[in-house]
Chains A and B, each alone.
Chain A
Amino acid sequence: MTGKCMGALAALVLLIAPWVWAASSEDVANLIQSMPLSASAKATVNAGFLRGIADGRLTADQALAFLQRIATSGASIEDRQTVLVSIGQTLLEDIPVEMLINKVDEGLARGLPMDVIAAEVVERRQTLVEVKALLNLTGIQIQQQTNEPGFPRSAVDAAVTDIATVLENHVRSGKQANDGTLLDTALATLDRDGRVAQQLFEALAAALTEADLTAIAGNIASRL
């Protein structure tokens, strides 16, 4: 009987452990407050990450782990602040940050200095902003409530990230912004990405134009 009780107790502890140990928004806020950032930077980063957690763009665990990686990176406070404010601002503007966080992690894994990583984040953030604005203009938006028009956040975020990636890669590969291939390349990428549902793909195919994408690619070229 004692063995059974111990087993059941152990199982219960193990079952609730992930919830007990899971990070919360409060943990994220506390970590941000403990970082040596300016008051305005803290406010932006805090508001952005809490909004991102609230709307499901990232979990508290992911946010906490990312912030800890930045906090322990050993880079200058200025560079770390640039990265965090860029991402916080992007979260506040309802734009996906998956690409930015991936570029930070990739840069750290490659052993690159934080100023190089920060410059990459700032540049790519601007592309995300412009792509998101383009989608908003064409009426492709996130569904905020059930029965309201729009598409699931995860799908729209994936589309914004894919289009921004295509445009960035096009320019970084040395191709001309106006070579007339951007729309086909973007649609091919969106078509292959399993996160972009067929209905959203069709809406994007109908809404996007080569001229719109060329304009954003031209802006990227001018920044690089």
Chain B
Amino acid sequence: MDSVKGNLAGKPHVFSDEIRYKKASESSLDELYALYETSSDGLASEEAVEEKRERYGRNVVVKSKKKNALLRLLLSFVNPFTLVLLILAAVSFITDYVLAAEGEKSAVASIIIVVLVLVSGVFRFIQEEKSGKTLEKLSNLVETTTAVTRAGISEEIPLDEVVVGDVVSFAVGDLISADVRILSAKDFFVSQSALSGEAEPVEKSADLRGNPQGLSDRSNLAFLGSTVVSGSAKALVIAVGNSTTYGQIASKSNLSKNEKTAFDKGVDSVSWLLVRFMLVMVPAVLLINGFTKHDWLQAFLFAISIAVGLTPEMLPMIVTSCLAKGAITMGKKKVIVKNINSIQNFGAMDILCTDKTGTLTQDRVALEDHLNINGVTDYRVLRHAFLNSYYQTGLKNLMDQSIISKTKELSNTYPALANLDKTYTKVDEIPFDFSRKRMSVVVKDASGKTQMITKGAVEEILAISSFAEVGDNVVPMSEDILDKVRSMVASYSRRGFRIIAVAQKNNPSAVNSFGIQDEKDMVLIGYLIFFDPPKESTAKALAHLQEYGVHTKVLTGDSAEVAEYVFQLVGLPLEGVLLGKDVEGMDEKSLQIGVEKCNLFAKLSPEDKARVVQALRHNGHVVGYMGDGINDAPALKAADIGISVDTAVDIAKESAHVILLEKDLEVLVDGIIEGRKTYANMIKYIKMTASSNFGNIFSELAAAALLPFLPMLPLQLLLLNLIYDFSCIAIPFDNVDKEYLQKPRKWDASSLGRFMLWMGPTSSIFDWLTYLVMYFVICPLFAGGHWGDPGTDSALFIALFQTGWFVESMASQSLVIHMIRSNKIPLFQSRASWQLCLASLLAIGVAIALPFTPGVSGALGLAPLPWVYFIYLILAILLYMLLATLAKNLYKRRYGEVL
């Protein structure tokens, strides 16, 4: 176990973790403050903070030690491609230099191979570094903060700035920012599932309760990685970063490793499919070439080169580049992707479940009125609401903020609303939770009179109210009053207002300690009426989503009436409504049927929301969930893609895969389009590589069986592969047809196999045609005779043949991308991006130029091609493009689309 330094009585000590935590747990508060050189007001100065940071480190969990740059550079050379090239370099050095006769010694080929190794490794390193750095920059844009008290002043600071000795405050929805000892707590329940795997929240308190077995059982210690489920607390930070319990587990295990998504598995399956082909191909080619050509060394090297050619060694890099490019473009559109693999899910999403508040509405909840039971504006109701909102220490939501600001605004006109914070002192509070849907505070006035004030959902307040205040009289609750209340609530709800009720009771308990059981026999005093107008952009954004094949469903904790009103305003047709109580009463099967028929789910608990999302996923939908509240966290986790906003509570941000910097559905549409573009470019590369590799298998098998020499030297084959891989770095920048973006795109591995079978042989046919023309026409014409004739220059014959296939292969591989990148007719109806066009032209240009480059040409075994070859090449490529387009259209006819 790691250890951290402690400082007891001014002298630095090194404690083991067990002792350190025990000490923190068992010390009195004074001992604790002395131990950590702090006080209830927190660290006294900026110097003290710096000193602590220096001594105990920063609050950053480094999940695995980052390898240094040199090691990362070396690792980018570790792949089969490099290994085979180095073997080739060694063989070439031995045959061309060590064993060669004096005067014929040449190390040029070996030097070229080493240069290729260096170029490919450095290129891979640069690409991966670039992707990594960009993603790191993007993730830094999303910041989680925590409330800390320093020198008596409370402020929100980024999580990584917390130091040992800080006094921190937690409310519902917060992440525990470090390992802490609780100083004071009120109904403080935390979920330690990230640490212990236990789903049930555990209560934490200032005092050490029971007889704890393990550290996590200690009731007055809370740990980094836990989340606050209910209540509030103040605590002292005792460990940060990698010294925390979570940090130690994370740095030693693969806790940080993400589970493989369907997409990861899809990419793996492509790799394995090609590897399986290779395992059959390589021995076959080796044996055929070995027995027919009797040069086992060359046959072996050729077989290995084919293996390397078929190994999709660039696939991970291209996929990462595509995803990183997607993440960058999405970042520019204010969509921050926390895990780049979720980009694909973003594009595949066909149902968006969203919370109502702030997504469909403006998130500017305004307190419109404060009414008594008779529906008359009453400042007493507002005064009670203020005391409740002001003194509760949990998360102050938009309603609380609105109540506080409205009271302050009216206090100039109505003196009864002024100085309430001075007239009353807080005695206690019972924090909010989603099962009760209400919260209470107990306050005391100057005369010593205590009063419990509760506010919350109307039904929940009615459930605990035995009395109602009608005029100046408190009367027992009756059916008449209940009917009157419910009809007033319904009438406001239908007009889109949100209503919460306020109740109170005097001298609630003889002892000054309160709990949920005290929320009874209350007096209903009135209601608060809020209005949250829909956003102007919502209707347009919803129409856009629909246009892009994403169906929107609204999941809200609000009443159905309020949500229905918002539906009307934003022009969303109401298909059906399911209420929380309906959802709770349904088994999984009936819920799976129910969720398909409805697009409004109201009065849902957090668990109901998650169940609705799970039911939709079970039905085969790719479900996105957008929300920013504590009550959204389970649904965010349950969804294929959890979407939250930068201003959301920690737990929602932590549960989400994607963070929007602007809470706007239109931003989401941009993100979806970008997700689909990224997916399109990735699948383009995968399909193209897989099909041309598959085609090469046929070509090479035929060559091995029929040709008296190798159709290409191992080095040429590897060089071809390298140039082609280079040209593929432009793929992430390619254009995607507008039509392709209209539909959600789900990863489908089955389409890859049939695409390979359909498109692969088209390139083989032209490879065979090239063999034929080179062997029977071009090589005899320029090498002085047929193969085997006494006057024929055999070396030139072979070099011309190999160069002819080298150039034709490069041209067909580079151009096939332009055929399959779109459902439309290439060049005329759909054009590739300039980057991709340039990359293709460069690749072909380099392949054509190499045989004409003095020095290099000979070392690579290439020969300058005659002009007549280029006439053939142009004709062959045109025919190939026609055939590929025909095959593509037939494929499209059978399967609907190409990609």
Answer yes or no: do A and B interact: no
Q: Which residues of A contact B (CB under 8 A)?
A: none
